[in-house]
Homo-oligomer: A and B are copies of this chain.
Amino acid sequence: MTVEESLVRTAVATWKSNIDRANKLFSGVSDAHLQQEVAPGKNRLIYLWGHLIAVHDAMLPLLGIGPRRYADLDAAFLEGADRAIDVVFTRDELKARWDNTNGALQEAFDRFTAADWTARHTVVSEADFAANPLRNRLSVLLSRAAHVSYHLGQAALAPK
């Protein structure tokens, strides 16, 4: 394994372990329990889960993998605060979308080369990327890994 491959495979493995932890937390939760707030007056578990699905779905175009599939989540889970809009998604619907989204990401991550990871993501222009070559796909992966961990820490506080 080359140094490049080792770096890239380590980053993808750490991403996957973060996703596995989130899987374990959210996938075992019932519809009723998804209504639980992580702390009094704070976001509900269903909001955090839907939010993560919407953010990960948006990684598909951002990383040049494909179009978004679940932009219908944005109104309830991305653009507004929890409870600003009535959520009509069930646990099973969210679980299917969560699995599909992370599966599509993982499939692409497993074939991305080191050069793919250091290429620019689709929201930065060629000129801006030339000025700051760290605005690459890997930076998206690592910042989204921090994002899922941030909300996972909150979700872990919800009463059991």
Write out the residue numbers on chain B whose beta carbons fall within 8 Å of the beta carbon of A42: 39, 157
Residues of A in contact, count (CB < 8 Å): 39
B-side contacts of A156, CB under 8 Å = 150, 154
Copies in the complex: 2
Expressed in whole angstroms, the minimum distance between the Cβ of A13 and any Cβ of chain B is 5
- The yes or no answer to A30 lying at the interface (CB within 8 A) is no
**A84 contacts the other chain (CB 8 A):** no
Interface residues of A in 103-160 (CB under 8 A from B): 114-115, 117-118, 133-134, 136, 138-139, 142-143, 145-147, 149-154, 156-157
- One digit per residue, 1 when the CB lies within 8 angstroms of any chain B CB and 0 when it does not, for chain A 37-70 equals 0111010000000000000000000000000000
Closest to A147 in B: B149
The residue that A39 contacts in the complex, of B6, B38, B114, B118, with Cβ under 8 A, is B38
Whether a CB of chain B sits under 8 angstroms from the CB of A1 is: yes
Is there a chain B Cβ closer than 8 Å to A36's Cβ? no
Per the bound structure, the CA–CA distance linking A9 and B142 in Å amounts to 12
A92 within 8 A of B: no
Do residues A11 and B151 form an inter-chain contact, with CB atoms below 8 A?
no
A4 at interface (Cβ–Cβ under 8 A)? yes
Cβ contact within 8 Å between B114 and A3: yes
Q: A7 near B: Cβ within 8 Å?
A: yes
